[in-house]
Amino acid sequence: MSRRSVLRSAAGASVAGIAVTALAGTAGPAFAAATRPAAPAARGEATEATDTGPAEQVVVHLRDARSGEIDVFRGTSHTRVRDPELAARLVRASR
């Protein structure tokens, strides 16, 4: 039995569910428009060369509520979003 698979199956949707729902429910097209892919890794940077399978969970880090700067981590990718409206909603949701 793989420890990773144990963790994956045990993790469930609780953590991810909140984050993904938050994005899907509030961001909409504006979110997509504001999204830009993370910068490709430069030569020599730490990037795993192999795929890690489907990423089912997403972590959102609200870096700066004022500017609306949000980091989205999914699988082995990172996307920087600037969406003040979403940031405000996240702040409200966290209170």
Partner 1 sequence: MSSHREAPEISKDPVADSTDVYAFVSPDKPDTVTLIANYIPLQEPAGGPNFYEFGDDVLYEIHVDNDGDAVADITYQFRFETKLTTPDSFLYNTGPISSLHDPNWNSKQFYKVTRVERHGSHVLAGKLACPPCNVGILSTPDYEAKLGRHAVHSLAHGIKVFAGQRAEEFYVDLGSIFDLGNLRPLQQFNVFAKAHGLKSAPGVNASNRLNVHSIAIQVPISHLTRHGHPTIGVWTSASRQRARVHADAETEHFVSGPFTQVSRLGNPLFNEVIVPLGDKDRWNRTRPGSDKHFAKYVKHPELAGLLPVLYPGAFPHLAALDKARTARADLEAILLTGIPSGIIKGFTNFTGKVQADMLRLNTSIPPTPASSKKFSILGLIGGDPAGFPNGRRVTDDVVTIELRAIAGATVPLVDPKYVVDAVVPDVTDGLTGTSVKNKPLTAFPYLGVPYDGYHNPS
By the rule CB under 8 A, 54 interacts with partner 1: no
By the rule CB under 8 A, 48 interacts with partner 1: yes
By the rule CB under 8 A, 6 interacts with partner 1: yes
Residue 87 near residue 71, CB atoms below 8 Å:
no
Residue ranges in 20-39 that form contacts with partner 1 under rule CB under 8 A: 38
Residue ranges in 60-89 that form contacts with partner 1 under rule CB under 8 A: 61, 71, 73-78
Collapsed DSSP state (helix, strand, coil) of residue 33: helix
By the rule CB under 8 A, 93 interacts with partner 1: no
Residue 83 near residue 35, CB atoms below 8 Å:
no
Collapsed DSSP state (helix, strand, coil) of residue 40: coil
